[in-house]
């Protein structure tokens, strides 16, 4: 991963000529997610929007008048916090209605309220984690398995990859092999013990990912990965689950 340039709140790393990764380095690492800005010919793409503690929109360098398509890979707090800032909002069909209210119980925002060391730097003098709320962000388009997100010069197919959450989706450019994975898979400790996690569904997702012909994957957390590393991560998860089931 290229060097992260840290600003007042956000950090940015230029991955290549068309791709920038953004993150929130002063947020607890449990909810410090990756956001991906990809430049397209007819429209740009932003995958996930972080916590929304500070405004994200001013950080996104998109030419005036060019559409910016924003896709939330799932409805958890660290991926939808700034979604309301953008007019073209897309997200999973399975949870589409919940984007209207962003209920704390659905986004898990309540977990942040009492998180020890929620931030390492105050975003404002009177800021308190207990006051954290995610504004309503009704989707302008709901995405389901097989749908296409078209940037003009490249097209991303939507993959429904449940397990971490029931609504998890990813975007896959079948022509180029570029894969935005959200939290379906990333190079780190995968979380499968949330109230809405489903380990059986996660195993099916991992089986599917074993054969997905990616060139490069950009996850919701951790460093990017290639196809070989993704197979290692998926296989490792499947082995852990097999051992756990065998021990029962």
pLDDT for the residue numbered 90:
98
Q: Tell me the CATH number for domain 5-247.
A: 3.60.15.10
pLDDT (mean) for 76-105? 98
Residue with tokens 């993704």: 230
Q: Give residue-wise pLDDT tens across range 167-215.
A: 999 999 999 999 999 999 999 999 999 999 999 999 999 999 999 999 9
What tokens does 123 get? 């975003």
pLDDT for the residue numbered 145:
98
Kindly tell me if the per-residue pLDDT of 73 is higher than 80.
Answer: yes
- If you count them, how many residues does the chain have? 248
- What whole-number distance in Å separates Cα of residue 176 and Cα of residue 224? 16
pLDDT (mean) for 42-69? 96
Q: Give residue-wise pLDDT tens across range 22-35.
A: 999 999 999 999 99
pLDDT for the residue numbered 63:
86
Average pLDDT, the chain: 96
Kindly tell me if the per-residue pLDDT of 84 is higher than 90.
Answer: yes
CB 182 within 8 A of CB 149: no
> What percentage of the chain exceeds 70 in pLDDT?
98
- What whole-number distance in Å separates Cα of residue 227 and Cα of residue 176? 13
Kindly tell me if the per-residue pLDDT of 113 is higher than 70.
Answer: yes
pLDDT for the residue numbered 243:
78
pLDDT for the residue numbered 222:
96
pLDDT for the residue numbered 2:
75
Half-sphere exposure of 227 (CA within 13 A, CB side): 11
* pLDDT band at residue 242 using 50, 70 and 90 as cut-offs: confident
Kindly tell me if the per-residue pLDDT of 248 is higher than 90.
Answer: no
Q: How many CB atoms lie within 10 A of CB 221?
A: 21
Closest CA to 169 of 178, 179, 157, 182: 182
pLDDT (mean) for 213-232? 98
Of residues 62 and 118, more confidently modeled:
118
* pLDDT band at residue 64 using 50, 70 and 90 as cut-offs: confident
Kindly tell me if the per-residue pLDDT of 142 is higher than 90.
Answer: yes
233, with CB counted inside 10 A (0-12, 13-18, 19+), is: buried
pLDDT for the residue numbered 213:
98
55 contact partners, CB below 8 Å, separation of at least 6: 82, 85
Q: Which DSSP string do the residues of 3-59 spell out, in sequence order?
A: PPEE-SS-EEEEEETTEEEEE-TTB-GGG---EEEE--SS-EEEE-----SS--GGG
pTM, two decimals, is 0.96
pLDDT (mean) for 117-138? 97
């Amino acid at each position: 991963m290229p060097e992260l340039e840290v600003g007042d709140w956000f950090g940015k790393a230029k991955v290549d000529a068309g791709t920038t990764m953004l993150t929130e380095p002063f947020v607890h690492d449990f909810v410090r997610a990756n956001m991906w800005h990809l430049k397209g010919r007819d429209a740009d793409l932003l995958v996930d929007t972080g916590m929304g503690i500070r405004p994200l929109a001013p950080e996104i360098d998109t030419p005036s008048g060019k559409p910016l398509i924003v896709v939330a890979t799932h409805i958890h707090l660290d991926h939808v916090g700034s979604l309301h800032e953008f007019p073209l909002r897309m997200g999973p069909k399975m949870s589409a209605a919940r984007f209207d209210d962003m209920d704390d119980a659905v986004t898990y925002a309540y977990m942040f309220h009492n998180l020890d060391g929620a931030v390492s730097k105050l975003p404002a003098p009177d800021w308190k984690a207990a006051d954290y709320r995610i504004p309503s962000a009704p989707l302008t388009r709901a995405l389901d398995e097989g749908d296409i997100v078209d940037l003009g010069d490249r097209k991303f197919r939507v993959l429904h990859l449940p397990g971490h959450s029931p609504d998890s989706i990813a975007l896959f450019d079948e022509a180029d092999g570029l894969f935005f994975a959200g939290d379906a898979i990333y190079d780190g400790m995968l979380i499968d013990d949330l109230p809405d996690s489903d380990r059986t569904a996660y195993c099916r997702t991992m089986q599917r990912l074993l054969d997905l012909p990616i060139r490069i994957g950009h996850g919701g957390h951790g460093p990017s990965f290639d196809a070989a590393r993704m197979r290692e991560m998926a296989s490792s998860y499947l082995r852990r689950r097999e051992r756990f089931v065998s021990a029962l």
